[in-house]
Structures are given as C-alpha cells and as structure tokens.
Amino acid sequence: MAEMPNDVQKLNEPPEPPAQPELGYMAANDDSANESDSQVQDQPGQHHSRRRRRMSARHIRRIRRRRRIRRMLIGLGVVLLFVAVLAVWFAWSAMKTKNEVQQAVSVATSMQESLTSGDTDALNKSMEDFSSHASAAYDQTSSMLWKVASQVPYYGDDIRAVRTAVTAMENVSSQALPSLRQASSALNMSDVSVSNGVVDVSGLTKYSAALQKADTAIESAEHDLIGAPDPHIAQISDAMQKAKNYMHTLSGMVHDANVAVQVAPKMLANDGSTRTYLILAQTNSEIRPGGGLPGSWGVMTVSGGKVELEPFISGGSIPWFDEPVVDLTAEERTLFTDKLGRVAVDVNFTPDFPRTGEIAKAMWKAHAGQDVDGVIAIDPVFLQNMLKVSGGVTLEDGVTLDGTNTAQYLLNQVYIDKPEDQQDAYFSAAAGSAFSHIMANAQDGKAFLKAVTTSVAQGHMKVWSAHEDEQELLLNTPISGALKTDAATPEVGVFFSDLSQAKMDWYLKRDVSVKFDKVAPDGANQYTVHVKLTNMLTQDEVGQLPHYIVGPFLEELQAGQIDTAVFAYAPAGGRLVDWKSTDGKSYDGVTTHNTLTVGVKKLVLSPGESYEATIHVEVAPDVKTPLDIYQTPQVEGRTDE
C-alpha cells in the first residue's frame, strides 16, 4: 500500500486535546501579569484559547475592603441625612417653642398686673392667652425628639431646663388658672364692702377652696422650676432666671390672697364675735428695725366687722418696767439690750414683728390689765395711703391731713409747728383722728383693700395674731413682718435703728439693693447687697431747725448728726461673705439671731455726708429660689440731691 503524503497523514490524525488550565492560583510575583490574560499565538492545527490568571489573596482582600467601605459610606450618608433632617426639625421646634414661651411670659406680666389691679376682665383675657401659648409650647417639648435631645451630654441640661420650665407653665395653665378664674371676684375684692366703719369680707369665704387649689398648684410648679438643671447657654440661663422670678412673684401673690381669704373674715369678726387689737402707731423719723419708734398706743375693737377705736396714749407715758415682761434670749439681750422687753417705745428694736407682737401684748397686759387678740403696727405712710381712699381729715387745730401730706406733716412738720411738750400728745391725737376718719368714711371696699395691700407690700402695716392657727397662716406672708428662718426661702435682711434719739431720719436717704453675683465653689449662689446712706440735711439748715429734730441728745454727737446702727442678716443656712465700706472698715461685730448670722455696724453721718457698703452673702448650697430682701420700711423724706 502506497504511503500517504505526510500532509494528508496529519489531517487524518485525531486533534490534540485543548490545553487544560492549571489548577491553583498563580504564584507569579508580578501583579500586573495577574490582572491580564496572556495571549496565545496562533498555531497551525490548534484552537484559539484565553487563559485567566487567578487573583491573589491580597487582591481579594482589597476588593472586599473596598466593598465594605462603600457600604459604610452609604450607611453613614443615610445616617447623616437623617440627623440633618432631625436637626432642622428640632431647630424649627425650638424656635416655635421660644416664640410661644416669650409670648406666654409677656402675657404673664400682664396677668400679674391684672391680679394686682383687680381688673377681672383683663385677668381672664390674660389667662386665656397664657394657656394658649403654654399649651403650644408644651406640645413641642413633650415630643419624643425633645426627650431624646435631653439625653445629649452637657447640653442636655439646657434642653431639660427648657422642658421643665414649659411643663411648669403648662401645669399652672391647666391646674391653677381654672381655679383662679373661679376666684376672680376674690382677687379683685368685688365681694368686700366698707361702709360706716363696717368692713365686711365674709363674701370671700366661698373662694377659699379655689384659691387653696391654685396656691398648691403654683407652689408645686415653682418647686419644679427651681429644681431644673442649671443651663450652660447664657440665653437659656437668663430666660430661666426670668421664669423663676415670674413664678416666684406669682406664687407669692396667690399665696397671700389665699391666706387673706382664710384669715380676714375671722380677724375682722365677721362671724359676729368680738376681737380686740392693740395698735402701735410708729414715727419713722426715729427709725427702728421694724419701722419707727412706736410713739402712740391704742386699742381697736372689732365686732361683726364694725371697727371702733379708743383714744391713743403716748408710748412714752407707759412706765419702764424693772424686768422684761417676757423672757428674752441671750441673743436678744446682746443685740437689743433688755430694753426690748422693758420699754414700750423699744418693743420693735427687733426686726422680727411676731416677737414685737408678743412683747407688746404682754406689756399692755401688764400696764392696762387688758388682753388683746393681736397687735397691728401702722405709721404715717399707711395713714396717707388710706386717706387717699377716705378723703382728708381736718384736725382740731385746723390742719388737714390727706393722701399727699400726711407723712411729711406727722414725721417732720409737726416738730417744727408744735412746742416740744405738746408733740407726743398731738401725734397720738392725730393718729387716732386719722384712723377713725378712715374707718368711718371709706366707702369703696376695693380701693380700701388696695390701699391696705399697698401699705403691707411697702412694710407700713404689720399684723400679729395671738391665735396660733391664724398666726401660722400669716407667718409666711409679708404682713407678718417675720424673719425667714427656712433655708428653702432665702431672704437677706438689712435693718436700721436710730441711736441719736432725735428726729433726723426724715433726712436720712436710704438706698438698698441686691443682685446675683456668682456661684460659689460650694455651689451656693452668692449675691451682692449694696447699701448707701446719706444725711440730706445741709449745714445751713442745722441752725434753723428745732432742737427736737437735730439734737443733740447724746454728748458725743453734734447737732444735725445721725447716729445709726446697721444690721445685715444673712439668709438662713447661708453666710456673710464679706463687708466692704467707704470708711475702709468692715462690720463692728458678728453674732446670731433666730439662727441667722448678723453683721452689725455703727456709724455717724454729719450733714451732707454719705456711707456706702458692699456686702456679699451666700444662700444655703443647692438652694435655687430667688433671694428676697427684707428691710426697714422706706419713707420718702428728704431725698433731693
């Protein structure tokens, strides 16, 4: 058989099987070769094929890492977008809350003015507006968004503070204002009548429950507000302080009204019983810590609201007692001497009027043999406020006292017009005539009580009841004139007592102020108390005025000099930090009275001379209630510069 040509033989041979890819990953070190396929050269009789190189472990890890980063970035973007949306939403909600709160506070100011003036229509309108704004703010801050935001570190305190303030406003709106609306007639005194010497307040009793409920709700809201965290943002801190001050004022007003509704009908014997009160008529031209020298004493009888006044006697006519009529504490003897309990015109050496009431009651019993149901202190400024309501009274000598001149005449002019031996008797007769005229001629019950509340707020009328249940209610109101010994209700006291025995305090200009200073290292709030005293008398006037006014009555003094003792009482649980004055000296000594720290300073001012002191005090640690100031009642005497 002939041989076939080689070319033909090759064509008949079975083809070679295609090359199989290698198993496993390429071990080549060149990464670029791993990322591209090598080209196979065309060979006759062979199929074309592509070989894929295997990826290295490093490359796979890189790919996987890139995929993870891509997923993380997408997730982060979603989260950031969500947070941005929440931030915009919260910013809008915060702005709306701010606007509603600002409007609510603005309305609240009007509401306080309406409470004071007794304008029922304006009060009801203010209550409706306040409730609307408080509710709108509460709807915002009660959302889940605000709850979550309040947990943010550091600034969460600011958000919690805002939520607390808004919640307090809402509680006042929903719990207190409805009761105040029910008692609006009591607040504007429309159910009080004064006619022919009869004061009828029995109509107030029907509002007792409503006022008690409102008082409790507002007091609770004030405590919540005080307990809020301290904000870090200055604007929020300022707003919170304004809210606290507003709530503190509102709470005091409603509490005082609540006490008045409970106590006044009983003290004025509207139940048909008979009450007897000792009246101390003070002269502020010779100041005492609690007001002025109690130069006239008289007895007032009230039966079924009918007020009758017996003739006043001079306090100087009551003999000095050999021993105090009550047991005096060692503190009282140190600060005020035992004359506090032995001498009638010195019973208000103490600024604590309940103590003055106890001593005066015992002294009157020892002198006149008569028990009284309480003690009431008034002064010429009180008489002037009341004569604005009743109209002026003309005295036996033709002098007319009215709502503009009573204080000036009885505290200064009378000592110029009348001989020295007639002055005490004249003052007593004038005080008695003015008081009797007021009770007989005041016909407008609302105006009458407005004048009373104004006098109480200014410190020109104080009341102590010998009935324990009544006194317990009166104790935390301005009319009691009591020193506050509870650290939760901080109060700084600044009191003055004349030592010269003249009548120069008509010419003593007194400026007393208090403002927040800083937070002390122990967390206590520190305040600055500024005191300025100026003798407004000129040297030329000294020789023109009577000896009874300018003195001197003490050998160490010259005519026209004012000798004054200054008492600065630290808040309960707090302390006196320092005392810096224009004479370069601090206080003369420090002691205690009724558990309160007291700094004492004695000074003498010549005509035209001034004294200034800057006193720093701290309240008890962790007490956030605004600091009140209690001082010797002011008199608009000679205040021209």
Domains of the chain (ranges; CATH) run 96-267 (no CATH), 274-471 (3.40.630), 483-631 (2.60.40)
Query: What is the pLDDT, as a whole number, of residue 202?
Result: 83
pLDDT band at 140 (very low <50, low <70, confident <90, very high): confident
Q: Is the pLDDT of residue 22 over 70?
A: no
Distance from C-alpha of 582 to C-alpha of 602, rounded to nearest angstrom: 13
Q: Could you check whether the bond before residue 319 is cis, i.e. omega within 30 degrees of 0? A: no
Q: Is 284 left (phi over 0), alpha (psi -120 to 50) or beta?
A: alpha
pLDDT of residue 519 exceeding 60 = yes
Q: Residue 173 has what pLDDT? A: 84
- By mean pLDDT, which of 10-14, 132-136, 173-177, 497-501 is the weakest? 10-14
With 80 as the cut, is the pLDDT of residue 190 above it?
Answer: no
The two structure tokens encoding residue 191: 């159910």
Q: How many CB atoms lie within 10 A of CB 235?
A: 10
Among residues 496, 504, 498, which one has the least CA distance to residue 535? 504
One-character DSSP codes across 517-535: EEE-TTS-EEEEEEEEEEE
Give the C-alpha distances (Å, rounded to integers) separating 56 from 53, 285, 606: 9, 105, 103
Q: Report the 10 Å Cβ neighbour count for 412.
A: 21
Contact call for residues 213 and 179 (beta carbons, < 8 A)? yes
- Read off the pLDDT of each residue in 279-306 and give the average, rounded to a whole number: 95
The whole-number pLDDT of residue 354 equals 98
- pLDDT at position 127 is 82
Single-letter amino acid, residue 556: E
Going by C-alpha positions, the residue among 319, 385, 326 that lies closest to residue 350 is 326
Say if residue 314's pLDDT is above 90.
yes
Task: With cut-offs at 50, 70 and 90, classify the pLDDT of residue 11.
Answer: very low
**For the ranges 127-141, 470-484, 507-521, 574-588, which has the lowest average pLDDT?**
127-141
List the beta bridge partners of residue 292. Answer: 287
User: Global pTM?
Assistant: 0.81
Tokens, residue 170: 């809402």
Helix residue ranges per DSSP H, 268-420: 330-336, 353-368, 380-390, 406-408, 414-417
Share of the chain above pLDDT 70, in %: 84
> Which of 11-20, 23-32, 467-476 comes out lowest in average pLDDT?
23-32
User: CB atoms < 10 A from the CB of 162, how many?
Assistant: 27
Radius of gyration of the chain (CA): 41
Tell me the backbone φ, ψ of residue 286, rounded to 5 degrees: -130, 90
- Residue 187: what pLDDT? 65
Terminal CA-CA length for the chain: 153
Locate 64 and state its tokens. Answer: 């996987």
Q: Which CA distances in Å does 67 have to 35, 59, 62, 584? A: 19, 12, 9, 78
Which 3 state secondary structure label does DSSP give 596?
strand
What pairing do the DSSP bridges indicate for beta strands 374-378 and 306-309? unpaired
Range of lowest pLDDT (145-149, 326-330, 362-366, 376-380) = 145-149
Name which residue leads in pLDDT, 360 or 28. Answer: 360
Q: Is the pLDDT of residue 17 over 50?
A: no
Question: Residue 11 contacts by C-beta under 8 Å, 6 or more apart in sequence?
Answer: none
Q: What 8-state DSSP symbol labels residue 479? A: G
Mention every residue, 6+ apart, whose C-beta is less than 8 A from residue 565: 496, 497, 499, 600, 601, 602
3-state secondary structure of 249: helix
Task: Give the residue with greater pLDDT, 144 vs 571.
Answer: 571
Alpha-carbon dihedral sign for residues 403, 531, 457, 371:
negative
- Residue pair 342/321 in contact by the 8 Å Cβ criterion: yes
Tokens, residue 171: 């509680």
Highest mean pLDDT, choosing among 57-61, 211-215, 229-233, 407-411: 407-411
- State yes or no: pLDDT of 443 exceeds 90: no
pLDDT band, very low/low/confident/very high, at 37 (cuts 50, 70, 90): very low
- Sheet containing 575-581, strands listed edge to edge, beginning at the edge strand earlier in sequence: 508-519, 525-535, 610-618, 575-581
The mean per-residue pLDDT over the stretch 100-119 comes to 73
Q: Looking at the chain, how many residues does it have?
A: 641
| Nearby residues of 526 by Cβ (< 8 Å), 6 or more positions away | 516, 517, 518, 519, 520, 577, 616, 617, 618
Is the per-residue pLDDT at 233 higher than 70?
A: no
Q: Six-digit token pair at 300?
A: 């007032």
Give the pLDDT mean for 217-238: 79
Retrieve residue 312's tokens: 């006043």
Q: Which residue has the higher pLDDT, 420 or 96?
A: 420
Q: Return the beta strands (E) in 230-273 as ranges.
A: none
CB count in 10 Å sphere of residue 461: 25
Q: Are 536 and 638 in contact (CB under 8 A)?
A: yes
Cα–Cα distance measured from residue 26 to residue 56, given in angstroms and rounded to the nearest whole number: 8
Residue 453: name the closest of 482, 477, 483 by CA.
477
DSSP-based helix, strand, coil % in the chain, nearest 5: 45, 20, 30
Q: Looking at residue 142, what is its pLDDT?
A: 78
| Mean pLDDT score, 403-429 | 93
Q: At what angle do helices 156-171 and 57-117 cross, to 10 degrees?
A: 30
Q: pLDDT class for 110, splitting at 50, 70, 90? A: confident
106, 129 Cβ separation under 8 angstroms? no
Determine the Cα–Cα distance for residues 621 and 574; give it in Å rounded to an integer: 8
103-112, 408-417, 521-530: the lowest-pLDDT one: 103-112
* In the predicted structure, residue 100 carries a pLDDT above the cut 80: no
- Residue 189 pLDDT class (50, 70, 90 cuts): low
pLDDT, residue 118, reads: 65
The overall average pLDDT reported for the chain is 84
Is the four-CA dihedral 547, 548, 553, 556 of positive or negative sign? negative
548-584: string of b/e by CB count within 10 Å (b at 16+)? bbbbbeeeebebbbbbbbbbbbbbbbbbbbebebeee
Q: What is the mean pLDDT of residues 249-268?
A: 89
Which pLDDT score, from 0 to 100, does residue 12 have?
A: 45
d(CA 476, CA 484): 8
Predicted local distance difference test score (pLDDT) of residue 456:
94
590 C-beta neighbours (distance < 10 Å), count: 15
How many CA atoms, within 13 angstroms, populate the side-chain half-sphere of residue 61?
3
Helices (H), 391-538: 406-408, 414-417, 423-441, 445-458, 468-474
Q: Determine the 3-state secondary structure of 50 from DSSP.
A: coil
